[in-house]
Amino acid sequence: MSNVLIVAEHGAGAIRKATLHALAAGQEIARRTGGQVHAALLGKGLGPLAADLAAYGVEVHVADAPVLERPLAEAFAPVLADLAKAIGATHVGAAATAFGKDVLPRVAARLEAGMATEVLGFGGDGANVTFRRPMWAGNVLAEVEIATAVKVFTVRTTEFAPAQRAAAPGAVHAVAVSIDPAALRTRHAGFREVKSERPELTEARVVVAGGRGTKGDFAPIEALADALGAAVGASRAAVDAGWVPNDWQVGQTGKVVAPELYVAAGISGAIQHLAGMKGSKVIVAVNKDPDAPIFQFADYGLVADLFQALPALTAKVKAEK
Amino acid sequence: MALKILVTAKRVEDPESKIRVRPDGAGIVTEGVNYKLNPFDEIAVEEALRLKERHGGEVVVVSIGVDKSQTELRAALAMGADRAILVRHDGPLDPAVVSAMLQKIVEAEKPDLVLMGKQSIDDDQNQAGQYLAERLRWPQATFASKEASLESEAEQKKDPGVVLGADGRSLTVVREVDGGVETLVLALPAVVTTDLRLNKPRFASLPGIMKAKKKPLQELAAAALGVDLAPKVVVKRLSEPPARKGGVKVADVEELWKKLHEEAKAL
């Protein structure tokens, strides 16, 4: 047996999109190893979610218990590790979300397994499947082998097309949960949804980012972003200056993004920043300085004052809609 | 209620350095590369110092790596940590192995709290804290952050972002998760990994730097810890991502729009 176990995520009564990308990665491993893809669904009151997941043609293992209401790594890890053993999983994976990154290493520790984070693709066959992953914020790509019997991984969702519904749904199995709630030393004490009219930075199809050149005025950046339905990003210089929130920072020490289109306005292109966005499909740079390093990375460069160019582009976008 | 806090301090390539892969793909070019304390660990050191300043206790920094990691340990000592431990290890640092080594240190030091950067900016694995928590069967809070902004008064006053309970035996941690902000209460001892928004690390003062030279720095060999040092994740080959081909300059917004619309089909 060389089964693949993909850990599903859900929220607001639906399977998260990220999970479909992880399932696709699982299917690719299964093709290479000759195994079957299974999915683990943990939570409380899961109702129809198991069938929703099984529709993708994978065997679904459902652990439905009050103690699993919140995705606490301390509670999820033993359930997932036991399940992985029970189904003879050689590969255990999830999407490289906050959830996946939080829980999967604990599962790996339980299984005495090595782990690869943020996997971009696979190579090789059978037991020798290799994992391609970024290091140094994507400045380096590494081909890694996991030397343990069980291999654990998370995948960057933008690198895998989502799984498709299958003609025949997979079977659904119930998993017994024996976690004692009183023994848990982690307690969930609240969740505040961060609502934004804009898409999440790491998931956005388009990102418009501003840097030092904005001189602290992000209005043209935000206007273009809203016209495009884009997320707003910023260089470290803009964040350090206190102009915009820290979680807007794109770069090695901020967020790594890979949208279809990245518009960098008033950003010179420090290594730190480039590391966080050079995986973008199309890069546009708008900068007054014709020698700014960003132009060496941009597919389209416009030497111009962003305070003139961006409003003009915003107007054009709105006019063409 | 004094807290004993163990903090990790990894030596990493300066994020401002240009990273190049060696022609043989077996490693990166290290000539001309500067090294520094992993930025996420720096945030962990800062948080530990704030907790100590508020509640008393001891901050012990630990690094696993080459002899030169002493520099990063001294940097943490200069910020205000009390003493340092260097586990000498010249070779790949795999989170599964690192966490096994840290487990030994934790068992010897018996801290109330382990604070670690959420990831080191070389391997970007984001695993060691979670592995360690599971090995110890301790609760964890990854991606520790806070609600107050880094421009807030609380931040100016250097309030800790993670909050010790009145009983001194629990810790409230706000963490950045998918779609929002989660609050966890952990029973100590626990492992907390730090995200960017938790705090702004202080700069070492000149007296701090002078004092750091005299603070205790204990060294031991990795082999002395009695853990299996063989990496679980083996890097076969490194390569550089395909270089972006030099772009074209466009004359004006009109041409930019046209290119994006018709050529790149991005709009």
Domain residue limits, chain A: 3-183, 206-320
B94 neighbourhood in chain A, CB within 8 Å: 114
Helix (H) or strand (E) holding B196: none
Test B185 with A189 for CB contact under 8 angstroms. yes
pLDDT over 80 (residue A119): yes
> Residues of chain A with pLDDT > 70: what percent?
100
Q: Which of these, B108, B104, B61, lies nearest to B86 by C-alpha position?
A: B61
Give chain B's mean pLDDT: 95
Domain A3-183, second-level architecture: 3-Layer(aba) Sandwich (3.40)
pLDDT of residue B54: 97
CA of A170 vs chain B CAs: smallest distance (Å): 28
Which among A139, A299, A302 has the least Cβ separation from residue B19?
A139
A290 by Cβ neighbours in 10 Å (0-12 / 13-18 / 19+) ranks as exposed
pLDDT of residue A239: 87
Which among A145, A184, A301 has the least Cβ separation from residue B247?
A301
Mean pLDDT of A100-120: 97
B:248-267 residues touching chain A, CB 8 A cutoff: 248-250, 252-254, 256-257, 259-261, 264, 266-267
pLDDT over 80 (residue B253): yes
Which among B122, B172, B233 has the least Cβ separation from residue A146?
B233
pLDDT single digits (tens) B184-243: 999 999 999 999 889 999 999 999 999 999 999 999 999 999 999 999 999 999 999 887
pLDDT of residue A29: 97
Residue B149, classed as helix, strand or coil, is coil
pLDDT over 70 (residue A281): yes
Test B259 with A300 for CB contact under 8 angstroms. yes
pLDDT tier, B244 (very low <50, low <70, confident <90, very high otherwise) = confident
- Tell me if domain A3-183 and domain A206-320 are identical in fold: yes
Mean pLDDT of B83-96: 95
Higher-confidence position of A159 and B26 = B26
Q: How far apart are CA B174 and CA B196, in angstroms?
A: 13
pLDDT tier, A1 (very low <50, low <70, confident <90, very high otherwise) = low
Test B248 with A299 for CB contact under 8 angstroms. yes
pLDDT over 80 (residue B1): no
Which among A141, A144, A189 has the least Cβ separation from residue B184?
A189
Residue A144, classed as helix, strand or coil, is strand
pLDDT of residue B66: 97
- What pairs with residue B235 in β-bridges? A144
Beta strands in B121-260 (DSSP E): 140-145, 163-164, 170-177, 180-187, 190-194, 217-221, 233-239, 248-250
pLDDT of residue A252: 76
Q: Select the residue from A102, A157, A263 to test the B interface by mutation, using most B Cβ atoms within 10 A.
A: A102
A45 by Cβ neighbours in 10 Å (0-12 / 13-18 / 19+) ranks as exposed
Please give the backbone phi and psi of residue A118, each rounded to the nearest 5 degrees, phi first.
60, 50
Give chain A's mean pLDDT: 94
Range of weakest confidence among A9-18, B147-156, B163-172: B147-156
pLDDT of residue B265: 85
> Residues of chain B with pLDDT > 70: what percent?
100
- Which CATH number fits the domain A206-320, given the four candidates 3.40.50.2000, 3.30.70.270, 3.40.50.1220, 3.10.690.10? 3.40.50.1220
Q: Report strand pairing: A231-234 vs A206-210.
A: parallel
Mean pLDDT of A15-41: 96
Residue A182, classed as helix, strand or coil, is helix
Domains delineated in chain B: 3-263 (3.40.50.620)
pLDDT over 90 (residue A137): no
pLDDT single digits (tens) A211-255: 999 999 999 999 999 999 999 999 989 988 889 887 799 987 788
pLDDT over 90 (residue B147): no
pLDDT of residue A80: 98
A202 by Cβ neighbours in 10 Å (0-12 / 13-18 / 19+) ranks as buried
Higher-confidence position of A43 and A2 = A43
Test B183 with A189 for CB contact under 8 angstroms. yes
Is the CB of residue A207 less than 8 Å from the CB of residue A250?
yes
